[in-house]
Amino acid sequence: MPKKIAVISAAHPGYRRAGLELAQGKNEFDADALTDAQLAALKSDPRLTVMELADEPALEPAKEKEPAKGKSKGGADQGEGQ
């Protein structure tokens, strides 16, 4: 999965910078789709905040939890009577 660049815009919707039309708020782009010159222009604009987003790990199906061995439901190990 390619890395993503988030551009947070405080400007009006439709604000343009570096050949891109930006929505107000968060905009995401593939990092390899932006040139060094575009990144420099975005980073130099005081109305914009540019961040590189961390790679998100692939989602794995949830595993069912197995009951802990040696513990019973209800009883002293559950903190009853305290």
Residue 36 confidence (pLDDT): 96
Residue 19 confidence (pLDDT): 97
Number of domains making up the chain: 1
Domain membership of residue 28 (yes or no) is: yes
Residue 79 confidence (pLDDT): 53
pTM of the model: 0.64
Domain membership of residue 20 (yes or no) is: yes
Q: What is the pLDDT of residues 23-55, one digit of tens each?
A: 999 999 999 999 999 999 999 999 999 999 987
Domain membership of residue 37 (yes or no) is: yes
Domain membership of residue 35 (yes or no) is: yes
Residue 68 confidence (pLDDT): 62
Domain membership of residue 14 (yes or no) is: yes
Domain membership of residue 58 (yes or no) is: no
Residue 49 confidence (pLDDT): 98
Residue 32 confidence (pLDDT): 93
Residues 6+ apart with CB under 8 A from 49: 7, 8, 10
Domain span at residue 15 reads 4-48
Between the alpha carbon of residue 27 and those of residues 10, 42, 49, 53, 60, the distances in Å are 11, 12, 10, 12, 27
Domain membership of residue 64 (yes or no) is: no
